[in-house]
Amino acid sequence: MKTRITELFGIEYPIIQGGMHYVGLAELASAVSNAGGLGILTALTQPTPDALAAEIRRCRSMTDKPFGVNLTFLPSRNPPDYPGYVRAIIEGGVKVVETAGNNPEKWLPALREAGIKVIHKCTSVRHALKAERIGCDAVSVDGFECGGHPGEDDVPNFILLPRAAETLEVPFVASGGMGNGRSLVAALALGADGINMGTRFVATQEAPVHINVKQAIVAATELDTRLVMRPLRNTERVLTNAGVERLLEKESRLGSAITFADIIEEVGGVYPRVMENGDMDAGAWSCGMVAGLIHDVPSVKELIERIMREARQLVSERLSSMLALQH
């Protein structure tokens, strides 16, 4: 399947594995790339730029296909060593970077000079247009359904994607709610050039997370995510658990007076406890509504081949037969 995204990134299928904290490691990224998609390492999961450099080398030893690195720019009093991470990406020969969070404009000249393509994650059309304007090569458009941070506009993909198609000139992928062949065909019909999947890739054999995490996603329905940190305007969609319900109770009780310090127990240091140790009630961890469409834990190769098979069947059988009825 050829789209502007497959051409831009040199991949076989228009399927990208989004950057995910404590999930985007070499095991998963290489498996996605080997299966024809674009695997993504998560830079800030690595404690230092040297550690990221080592992870890039490890991923390259596991695949000869293109893969990328996610670099999220967070507002912080003590920011990570972003120059060091960018240097590790460039020196590691990575050719795709997925940026997220704050505006990546100041980092684009160095990345562009190194021949790196940049895809920026956006939760609104206005942010996508800004990404296009500052020189990003592509955009990941994240609808309200997505796990992680959906922004504050609450616009689902059935509106957001065609709005992006109306206004953007650069290629874009659909993120949020993507999990099967129907997702891919729908995204393409709504104007996207591919899909970005996060939660669906967590529930795969190669995802380097505790089996409890994968089982929790399979057991969940589309009704089992919650929005937390809304009063702080840092909204995150997470899978409900005892820690999340404690957090929501604090938000309800404290209202607009709540501070990050009030919920640190439910959000600080949670990812290693969940992803590595399988402590499912530790606190808030990102999960999309697409969990309701996830019923198994296949290999990455099986998943991507299934998505492509379903997509082709939908187009060649269901949709083409409907068109044939018009004649």
SS3 content of the chain, % helix, strand, coil (to 5): 45, 15, 40
pLDDT in tens for each of the 327 residues of the chain? 999 999 999 999 999 999 999 999 999 999 999 999 999 999 999 999 999 999 999 999 999 999 999 999 987 778 999 999 999 999 999 999 999 999 999 999 999 999 999 999 999 999 999 999 999 999 999 999 999 999 999 999 999 999 999 999 999 999 999 999 999 999 999 999 999 999 999 999 999 999 999 999 999 999 999 999 999 999 999 999 999 999 999 999 999 999 999 999 999 999 999 999 999 999 999 999 999 999 999 999 999 999 999 999 999 988 888 877 665
- Per-residue model confidence (pLDDT) at position 131: 98
> Residue 320: what pLDDT?
80
Select from 176, 149, 151, 156 the least CA-distant residue to 284.
Answer: 149
pTM of the shown model: 0.96
**CATH, domain 4-208, list 3.40.50.1860, 3.40.50.300, 3.30.1360.120, 3.20.20.70:** 3.20.20.70
DSSP codes of every residue in 263-321: GHHHHTTHHIIIIIT--TTSS--B--GGGGG------HHHHHHHHHHHHHHIIIIIIHH
Predicted pLDDT at 15? 98
Residue 190 and residue 157 in contact, taking contact as beta carbons nearer than 8 Å = yes
Which residues, other chains included, contact 77 with Cβ-Cβ below 8 Å and sequence gap of 6+?
none
**Cβ neighbours for 283, distance < 8 A, ≥ 6 positions apart:** 241, 243, 244, 247, 265, 266, 267, 268, 270, 273, 274
The pLDDT assigned to 16 comes to 98
Q: What is the pLDDT of residue 326?
A: 60
The confidence score (pLDDT) of residue 23 equals 98
Q: Which pLDDT does position 184 carry in this prediction? A: 98
Domain borders along the chain are: 4-208
What are the residues whose beta carbons fall under 8 Å from the beta carbon of 194, sequence distance 6 or more?
3, 5, 6, 13, 14, 15, 16, 171, 173, 174, 184, 187, 188
For the chain, give me the number of helices (H) and strands (E)?
Answer: 15, 10
* pLDDT score recorded for residue 113: 97
| Residues whose CB is less than 8 angstroms from the CB of residue 241 and which lie 6 or more positions away in sequence, other chains included | 280, 281, 282, 283
Residues 230, 232: Cα–Cα separation, whole Å: 5
